[in-house]
Amino acid sequence: MFRIRRVYDDFTPINKEAVKQVQKILRTQFYLLSRKEIAKLPEQLRNPFKYRFRSILFVAEGSKGMVRGFALLLHEPILNFCYLDYISTAKRRMGGGIGGALYDRVREEALHLKTIGVFFECLPDSPELSRDPEIRKQNAARLRFYERYGARPIVNTAYETPLKPGTDNPPYLVYDNLGQDMELHRDTARIIVRAILERKYGDIASPDYIEKVVESFKDDPVKLREPKYIKREVTIQIRRSIPADRRIALLISDQHAIHHVRERGYVESPVRIDTILKELDSADIFQKFKPRRFSERHITAVHDSKFVDYLKKVCASLEPGASVYPYVFPIRNVARPPKDLPVRAGYYCIDTFTPLNRNACMVAKRAVDCALTAASKILEGHRLAYALVRPPGHHAERRSFGGFCYFNSTAIAANYLGKHGKTSILDIDYHHGNGQQNIFYERADVMTISIHGHPSFSYPYFSGFRDEKGIGPGKGYNVNFPLPESFDSKRYREILTEALRRVAGFRPRFLVVALGLDTAKGDPTGSWTLNAKDFEANGRMIGSLHLPTLVVQEGGYGNRVLGVNARNFFMGLWSGAYSI
């Protein structure tokens, strides 16, 4: 078994290892390649435009991250074509369909990028150009493989002119138009061939040589060799379904329904998840995963351990169905925590409407597990992941709960990703993300940004002001955008643009979005009027940052539109993330 995935960079341990293994395959399978050429691969990925082409690396990964093959596709976005620089399996690991699966993925990508097709070199199968029958046989097998896709050598040109006269096996230039019904015009072909030769042989080919080969393209449109091996008209079609590595990893809090506060007006209810899920199922861009269990140390890494212990203890002590609402609020810095557990609730809570009950702690812990599993999917190479969880978490501070929140899943996941590079949290819930602000207020490695209703009229009332910017090393790494009670969606996009500019300026490796859908029109806890189209546009803007992005579900209580808005947000995020 293997999976094909795109490797965007070498920042995470798993990607670093994959790139290293690709370089090893390059060294062993392409022994004529210079060390310099192989060494530049990480830089090619990180800095896509430095080398004129955007490098797109796909690996076929077996168990334990073993790279069993790879393809390096170069994309020229201006001339609008792809050049397949390398496609190779690891030595002695031929077969198993890896080459075919990689080439399928390459074609799918080239089509997704809306290019005119894929060009690549293939060693010749004619006795004049390939004298050794054994090598010729291998070359023929390769050309036969590509012919099944309709990819054949371009003929009547001087492309096969050896760089050094008399050299055996000068390559053909093969063209795969991806089954698109279009011809390749001479002038286009000439520009493309020049770009390929300059990239590939710029160091060793003379300008005269390049000129001569380019000028040799005379047919208009360019002609491909007649099929030599495959007589049937049927060529392999491109799979139209979305490849696994371009899907959003979806983690759903599976035990959430047992946390059900039935008091009147408690809008944070199980139906929220079902409503969202139903709509997501109609968008074929997700791949579901099961949540894993994570150790509690991830929680105590951001929450006070006394607070965590308290929540566990008090919840376990409550009878099923019973709720404790805090009613005494000791001034924490001078008072001792009350001995009696229900009374102590006010020592750790920020409001009077978030109850403790038997299941709250366990279900909140499961939401954390989901968020962490989703974060681990990002580390495993998924570009986008979504933890669809409840209860929400962004109001939970280092040592307090409230606002329907107990553990801050968003902050815990951001802290976990933060071990592998700078992380930015963007909170787009209607209410201020006071939890993350409090947790990371003195840190410079996690930037917290929140767009929310001004605390003068909106929960949590005590934080979210513009002048809260972080302290100590964290100074300048907390940004609040408190907004008025009503304004139009155009204004919202302006603010979001500004927030995204701050994210980009921080140059994070990861983005965590605290997604509140309570910014929607008609939400019982908000006053804004965003509609499905706005969510789509906002999602697209966030996706266009092209960052590995984990989305954690926070608020959103207008059950009639919750699902539709979530679906639109993710459609936008997804198309933004995979735009060029």
Note the residues at the interface with Zn ion (CB under 5 A): 429-431, 516, 518, 555
Residue with tokens 């570009």: 383
Residue with tokens 């509690």: 296
Closer of 157 and 408 to Zn ion (Cβ): 408
Q: Which of 256, 259, 394, 395 is catalytic?
A: 395
Q: Which two tokens stand for residue 329?
A: 């609020």
Closer of 430 and 481 to Zn ion (Cβ): 430
CB of 61 to Zn ion, least distance (A): 39
Using CB atoms, what's the residue nearest to Zn ion?
A: 555
Closer of 482 and 516 to Zn ion (Cβ): 516
Do residues 447 and 422 touch, judged by C-beta distance below 8 A? yes
CB of 191 to Zn ion, least distance (A): 53
Closer of 403 and 576 to Zn ion (Cβ): 403
Question: 156 phi and psi, to 5 degrees?
Answer: 65, 35
Closer of 342 and 460 to Zn ion (Cβ): 460
Do residues 497 and 540 touch, judged by C-beta distance below 8 A? no
Do residues 500 and 422 touch, judged by C-beta distance below 8 A? no
Q: Is 216 exposed, middle or buried (0-12, 13-18, 19+ CB in 10 A)?
A: middle
Residue 469 neighbours by CB under 8 Å, 6+ apart: 475, 476, 477, 478, 479
CB of 403 to Zn ion, least distance (A): 7
Pairing of strands 172-176, 152-153: antiparallel
* Annotated catalytic residue 546: no
Closer of 81 and 459 to Zn ion (Cβ): 459
Q: Rounded to an integer, what distance in angstroms lies between the CA atom of residue 258 and that of residue 246? A: 33
Alpha helices in 263-408 (DSSP H): 271-281, 297-300, 305-317, 341-348, 360-379
Pairing of strands 446-453, 172-176: unpaired
Question: 230 phi and psi, to 5 degrees?
Answer: -105, 115
The tally of CA atoms less than 13 A away on the side-chain side of residue 405 is 33
CB of 551 to Zn ion, least distance (A): 15
Q: Please report, in angstroms and rounded to a whole number, the separation of the first and last CA atoms in the chain.
A: 30
Amino acid at 381: G
3-class DSSP assignment, residue 7: strand
Question: 520 phi and psi, to 5 degrees?
Answer: -75, 155
Distances 30 to 89, 91, 426, 552 between C-alpha atoms, Å? 11, 11, 44, 44
Q: Is 282 exposed, middle or buried (0-12, 13-18, 19+ CB in 10 A)?
A: exposed
Question: For residue 122, what are the β-bridge partners?
Answer: 172
Residues recognised as catalytic: 395
